[in-house]
Amino acid sequence: MNTHARHARPATYQDVIDAPPNMVAEIANGRLHLQPRPAMRHARASFRMAGQLDGPFQGGPGAPGGWHFAIEPELHFGDDVLVPDLAGWRRERMPAYPDAAFVTLAPDWLCEILSPSTRRFDLTEKRALYGANGVAHLWLLDPEARTLEAFTLTAGAWTLTGAFQEGEDIRAAPFEAIAFPLTALWPD
């Protein structure tokens, strides 16, 4: 369940630090958002997506390489603190993988895995903040509907560049060098 803490003041990073350990705490537009940790289907889809991309884009033999990935990184965009399910940075923008609690450099690619408790927040405030902070590519994976939508930021607006459903292979920017079946992301 997504809850918004009602504050007389804008939320601060101390509110994130003080959040219960079983919750994901984020700040968007001055409001604290608390969500429970992802459910098992959500976590499995995240793990499998990371697995599909990590091998080819970490630069194994004959692979395209050129990326750093993170699961649930904490991103700081000014006063906003967001935690996407997956993020990727091109190595030319982030040559060394940071050893830090959070990152201020906007990712080149993000993936949000939609769930009933986070869907509205992911599709509205978070998507707008990702665009405002220069994230170039956003994938929205829906384990319930078994779909994936890929968006590219064009002139400050999200443009749908691919929509995939059960039985189709995913080949979408910025990872169009490979294809993998959407079914590879589900546990069954």
Residue 123 pLDDT grade (very low, low, confident, very high; cuts 50, 70, 90): very high
Q: Dihedral through CA 71, CA 131, CA 152, CA 82, nearest 10?
A: 10
Contact 97, 105 (CB under 8 A): no
Q: How many CB atoms lie within 10 A of CB 80?
A: 19
Residue 25 resides in a domain: no
Residue 94 resides in a domain: yes
Residue 16 resides in a domain: no
Its domain, for residue 62, covers 39-185
- Report the CATH number at residue 118: 3.90.1570.10
**What pLDDT does 55 receive?**
87
**Could you report the per-residue pLDDT of 47-59, keeping only the tens digit for each?**
999 999 998 998 7
Residue 34 resides in a domain: no
Residue 71 resides in a domain: yes
- State how many domains the chain has: 1
CA atoms within 13 A on the CB side of 121: 24
Residue 119 resides in a domain: yes
Residue 4 resides in a domain: no
Residue 1 pLDDT grade (very low, low, confident, very high; cuts 50, 70, 90): very low
Report CA Rg, the chain.
16
Residue 158 resides in a domain: yes
| pTM exceeding the 0.75 threshold for the entire prediction | yes
**Could you report the per-residue pLDDT of 63-89, keeping only the tens digit for each?**
788 999 999 999 999 999 999 999 999
